[in-house]
Structure 1
């Protein structure tokens, strides 16, 4: 039997990710405002190194544990195998060792302008507890998602960012720059948030395991299986980080030769700082779909051997269409206004050129989760490597041979997104016949056109009632209009809405009253 689309789980994870990002922006704004842009530069330099060092413990291992726990514990209340718990904690230890090794190698290879060697070593020592905690909390999240717990990892994410912000507000007066570096203050606040989140997740996991019980099994510890499934997502993340790390310096060098230093810096700022983050903002929804589908598809594969795979694939493609197509329409209409908020009106053209690639970009995370559930983790690595190679090759061709400007970024980005998503779909075809939900695409285009029309009215409305004056109200109206059109077309059903948090309570109440 095919399980329903995980609407509740997807919405919970997406909402927590959205709120966490907003709180994270507030944290960074407060951090820079209190300590200054120059003083916070060291913290910005160190953050990418911490992220790369913990890729195994925060990305690869949690996803592997989610798959294993979902496959082994198929029913609610079923005991947890002792061997799986043992392998999870051994894997966490390996991830912590990997993080410490990576941070040591990166610190030896990195060129840190403006930071003395002794100061940088001190910062790394301060970051060691944070590295270890990130590996532990990552494993706890993965295990809880595999056991079917969605609220606790989502709530822990909010707790983590909230504690960071509270620590910055209340501890900063006692940690002045004279007593501690700005980067140390930032690391300490991150560590406080990670510690509280880890304590909460550990308590929830202990209660869940205590309620289910632990069964002694004769299966030896599957540490090798855990690590084998972890390395592919870790490798994909590292390759993606390396690809983007090479992309901007390469583009800057080639653009400087043809357009000059100032123009090159301007174009890269439009692309990397404004247009790309705006285009990726709705991906919190598709990332929630991907995270929610991983344990569900893994459990169903263990139970049915993949017979439900075609249904999941079609549902995912349809759900992403209903998000990506209206988002593309909104980006095309609002590009000048959104770029104006950043005081960079030239970036509007960059966003207009990137917007058509939203659908293949948004599909990547959900399709990757299905491949992981089928045991094809290495496919993610191959697709990511191919996408990075295409993007770097197109940058060399666009800026080196054709001397393109903004269109060069759009060509490289679109080619990479199409090739990577196409590779994922081609790998998925071996499990089922790929059928495109054309009806859903047609209805999504209708919803996008209606939302675009409403937003155009909002842009030309009298000033007190225009989109510029009331962006949240008009944005919510456009979203509700899209939802109503999709509901009228029966792409979104009342049964689907009844599984949403809070909204589902309203639907249940109305159904009981006979409304």
Structure 2
């Protein structure tokens, strides 16, 4: 398989992530109608454990594999690539056995005490097979990312969701007559089977790739110890990534407690606390993170791209690829932020029927523009073997975030706005820390002229699009509010793209590199 460029790889993963989101949404509609709230609750109870089990089993190795495979590939060291895969399979295989055994023996206890509903036992047991399946899938995903061939990952991601949706529709309905607990377990099992089909796809793609002669058989601990240096390199990236994941999980668990206690001290009633917290986490945050899959795609492609350049000691290429990633992130982030700010009231009304949540969205949206810079900066640190630095930056920012919630949210003058300010300070601090670390490592400087152009295009887009929206609203006295909103947003994005071409932030040669439609669109725009 041919190596893909940073932009092409990111686009392929972004497209797959978008299709996956649509399929996941469709699947959630099917499940909600078949299972109902009670069945969905039983299924959702085990999902956090699924994430925790996968974190324990993979210990951040997929990211480490992508970095080391990219470096070994740049050096033409096929032997090291094989060692990386063998050692990774030994580690994940051994951890899978331990975690599966632990899960089987503690299933009844966890479902009764931690999950609070004994009926969740069936769903918990149905989840267990995903542990070894997901572990091997993670290793192969890391390999393909390291080889900078994102097509197998993209196709597997979509294929997995298609299988999941089809099986959900067929299997879950047949299990409903047996009881809601069996139907919920069937829904979990559909996720497992989807992951299994994804793994089969990865194995097939691995065998037909140009590394098909590289046989990986009977991995053992003796092979792992013979590659002790590779093992150390894997753990140097994998363990900080795992530590970062645990910190995120802990802060997510602690944050709701701190928020509710702080708002209570501010004199907010328990009913209003629940309502405000629900608006922030259930309405505002999903809209803020809606374009987040683009950041995830950029991060996944940037780590191996930076590792390859770092192995070649090509500092100029590292800086160029980081500039590319930041430019793409801001091209998406600036209009997203402005549209959320300008249309906060209309979006909250149209999507959630909750216009009272609009002020919260308007307050937090401008700060979250910096969130689009975090993924590229963190990926550079990981790609250069500084995962530990990235982890410490994240820990410091998230601890600061949680620590500030109490003094700010307990202030009666701030209340829930204090929570938003604390979260925003965390975002700002994390971005500054990552940027400072990158500057210290490679002497990087932001491409200020292009950033200014993107900001100018975004502000002009917002002004022109909002003016059109207001005029359309004035002309239409009744109904059609959602259609007018969509018209205003689509027109704004169209104006934004024209301004980017006019300001030469993007040009025809950038468009041509887009997979599938690039050549056709390239004929429209000048190079």
TM over 0.5: yes
Structure 1 distance, partners of 2:142, 2:487, is 37
Match of 1:287 in 2: 296
Whether 1:303 aligns to 2:312 is yes
Deviation at 1:166, TM superposition (A): 0.8
Structure 2 distance, partners of 1:112, 1:77, is 47
Asked if structure 1 preserves the Cα contact closer than 8 Å seen for 2:126 and 2:185, the reply is yes
Quick one: structure 1 residues 76 and 158, their matched pair in 2 at CA, closer, same or farther if it must change by over 3 Å?
farther
Asked if structure 2 preserves the Cα contact closer than 8 Å seen for 1:80 and 1:214, the reply is no
Structure 2 distance, partners of 1:200, 1:407, is 47
Whether 1:451 aligns to 2:452 is no
Structure 1 distance, partners of 2:11, 2:106, is 39
Asked if structure 2 preserves the Cα contact closer than 8 Å seen for 1:12 and 1:154, the reply is yes
Match of 2:238 in 1: 230
Q: Which moved more, 1:222-231 or 1:154-163?
A: 222-231
Match of 1:325 in 2: 334
Q: Secondary structure of the equivalent of 2:25?
A: helix
Whether 1:369 aligns to 2:369 is no
Deviation at 1:455, TM superposition (A): 3.5
Match of 1:505 in 2: 519
1:464-503 alignment runs, 5 A limit = 468-469=482-483, 474-503=488-517
Quick one: structure 1 residues 58 and 448, their matched pair in 2 at CA, closer, same or farther if it must change by over 3 Å?
farther
Match of 2:428 in 1: 418
TM-score, length basis structure 2:
0.88
Quick one: structure 1 residues 120 and 468, their matched pair in 2 at CA, closer, same or farther if it must change by over 3 Å?
closer
Match of 1:316 in 2: 325
Structure 1 distance, partners of 2:33, 2:253, is 27
Match of 1:115 in 2: 117
Whether 1:152 aligns to 2:161 is no
Q: Deviations over 1:278-308 (max 9, x none)?
A: 0111122122111111111111111125453
1:118-267 alignment runs, 5 A limit = 119-179=119-179, 180-208=181-209, 210-211=211-212, 213=214, 220=227, 222-257=230-265, 258-267=267-276
Quick one: structure 1 residues 297 and 113, their matched pair in 2 at CA, closer, same or farther if it must change by over 3 Å?
closer
Structure 2 distance, partners of 1:280, 1:101, is 36
Match of 2:220 in 1: none
Q: Deviations over 1:449-503 (max 9, x none)?
A: 2332343223541449966116555434332322221122111121111110123
Asked if structure 2 preserves the Cα contact closer than 8 Å seen for 1:70 and 1:298, the reply is yes
Structure 2 distance, partners of 1:418, 1:98, is 40
Q: Deviations over 1:371-430 (max 9, x none)?
A: 011100111211111111111111111123456223112211110001111111111122
Paired residues, number: 509
1:2-21 alignment runs, 5 A limit = 6-21=6-21
How much is the aligned-residue C-alpha RMSD, in angstroms? Answer: 3.0
Quick one: structure 1 residues 207 and 297, their matched pair in 2 at CA, closer, same or farther if it must change by over 3 Å?
same
